Structure 1
């Protein structure tokens, strides 16, 4: 069973025939929302809204540990995370889909490991390749089958939020090698790795980042919502195709 974590623009998974919802309890508190179990393209799926059912939890207050722990307890075999991003690169335009392959973490103060607290031992995970190769391959193949362009080999910068970045900060991220910027990719990816859960992400470019393209003088939140509403149809198609092609 695959897990889908929905971000901004994806609080519900269209086409998911929900069989039941489960309110999970974890050692780290409650997840963002109840887990929605069901079938999509004839395959079992569990869906979790990262920001809550009403999109009321800001990125820096998401209980990432509870979310990942709850999915592990549900015995999922992998996680596909969907998230909106801003584009730093000129060739990645609003509405484009991105399959990131690397992460730079700029977040701070977020509980970011399961290996702490009384009785815990020091544990290190290999994070050389933060996204699962096999899951990325499946997403890439599904995108090709649906005719969707999925930009590959992007570096995702995870910032603290909830505010958007300044133009100078985006310049810094570009110098660091980042291609897109978002607020939820970490510690989500690292926590999944700690529990040996294959994890990959689909990023939806919602806008040009501050100081770039049509965001040079400012970012329109209304335009972001419009782009996400239109682009999520492609995301649905990719996920459904990926599941339908599963052996």
Structure 2
């Protein structure tokens, strides 16, 4: 019997959504762009605002540029936003260490200030940020549409919570992988296959990220 993923149309493009306080210049965003370029596949990796509703609105605009059935990929908080888009538009999604009930995490950050290494923006988490996350959090999801990529040593989010919310989704565990999921290049073929595309090589030879100099992953920027 065909799986739910195999019955979906081939992805018309890829939308990658970065995590909280990360950016479109992050290593993971660069890897996704490079993989899509090899396939000639339209790709968008927008710089998202830090406020959830504004980030979702930005993602909606870029999603509309990618044809009738894009694959939505998201890391950490971007995985939360990718879930909202996938549910709203009946799309396939690939989620990398996704934030589950992120309001619970952000509640401890209210009043805290952050600096974004990719944009230079400085901002503080306000109570309204928490309220927006609570209002957006879905009670349930259609698990069959998702591919989960989870690091077993995630120091920021408990992968068991993702297993619970997305029960029934296809899941790939990266042994000893942390929240930054620095081994993303090795899993890009699986991500793109979830959208019906075949990436020949498991690693993009010679690719270097355009992110913060000296970085090997986005762990300090929550994905």
Q: What TM-score, normalized to structure 2?
A: 0.37
**Bigger fraction of residues in strand:** 1
**Bigger fraction of residues in helix:** 2
Q: What TM-score, normalized to structure 1?
A: 0.35
